[in-house]
Amino acid sequence: MNQDSKDCNHTPISSKEIQRKIDKYGCFIVLIEADDYLPAFAYTIGLYQKFNHPELIAFGLSTDQLGDLLNIGCAKITNGSSLTPGILYDNFIQNYKVQFLEVHKTYYSDYMGVTNLFYDTENYPSLQLVWPDKQSRFPWEIGFNPDWKFKQPLLDRNIDFKFYEERNLGVFTTKQVLEGKPILYVYHNEDGDWQFHSEEDPDLDDAKLVAFEQITLIDPSVNQLYHLTYNRSATRNSPNDPWIWEED
């Protein structure tokens, strides 16, 4: 394994080139840089094809570090090891152990798009590499560093709420939405506030503050906007239409 097995999805690459690197290195790694809202992440292509092993994905460090972690995993698999959920593994991060979680297929289209395209299916297994905080606590353990909570979305759970905020975070909507009108306009303000409305310019007198989770219960399809970055909006003409991202 070396740096040649890593690439970034900002640069188009052919399936033939991906296959060449799988044949040479054991896997191909897609690197996604962080933006002002979402953490960086990286994932593999080819482990399932070449070794009948789940693909790997990891979040929340620099793309160089994530690539190194996945290359270590790929090297272990190439040498005959099998990575298993719930087991502590060393030799990934100095002085710390990592674990793996089984990725729910609901997240494949959210985070593993190039792998889906390469295989032309979502019918393959995948594991998430999860790293601990400096006290060796994992995100699901009591006392885990709260500042790091949203650096690693846990892809084996929370399929009903994919956003990078707390479920009880206050978000803005209107009485019309609460009374049943569809959500057609979503705004993620530059300061991080979320707004969910049925009209493009709602009357401020109709504004309501509700828990974020209430919005996803009213309309689960808003989960498709989990990656709407700061100072962006999304609209649709009806609940049956796709969301269209727009600049604010």
SS (H, E, C) 105-126: HHHHHHHCHHHHHHHCCCCCCE
- Prediction pTM value: 0.91
Supply the pLDDT for residue 246. Answer: 86
Q: Is the pLDDT of residue 199 over 50?
A: yes
Mean pLDDT calculated for residue range 110-115: 96
CA–CA dist 31, 240 (Å, integer) = 32
Mean pLDDT calculated for residue range 141-169: 96
Q: Is the pLDDT of residue 2 over 50?
A: no
Q: What percent of the chain has pLDDT over 90?
A: 93
CA–CA dist 245, 248 (Å, integer) = 10
The pLDDT mean for the chain works out to: 93
The token duo for 84 is: 């298993």
CB 173 within 8 A of CB 195: yes
CA–CA dist 26, 2 (Å, integer) = 11
